[in-house]
Amino acid sequence: MARVCEICGKKTATGGTIARRGLPKKAGGVGLRITGRTLRRFRPNLQKVRAVVDGAVVRLSVCTRCIKGGKVVKPHTQKAVAS
């Protein structure tokens, strides 16, 4: 299963970290030098939730931004009946 939000389509993005050494010029140094670059991945915060889609309850892999934004309609839980 791919790491993709089933509502907004957010997926894994790539980027990099840059390692620098030295003192910035505005701090009185001679400037920063890049000493290394490393590729990395930015993964979406996906959660498996039960949601109502077209009147049926299904399990979806959804990012937390969609959950917080109210784009996911969660099913009502049934209350326990006292006997």
| pLDDT reported for residue 1 | 62
pLDDT at 83: 64
Which residues of the chain, if any, have pLDDT below 50? none
Query: Which pLDDT score is estimated for 76?
Result: 85
In whole angstroms, what is the distance from residue 60 CA to residue 4 CA?
A: 10
DSSP state of 11: B
**Rounded distance between C-alpha atoms, residue 72 and residue 26, angstroms:** 48
Q: How far from 11 is each of 7, 27, 54, 57, 76, CA to CA, in Å?
A: 11, 39, 24, 24, 29
pLDDT at 9: 95
What DSSP designation does 26 have?
Answer: G
Give me 11's structure tokens: 């997926």
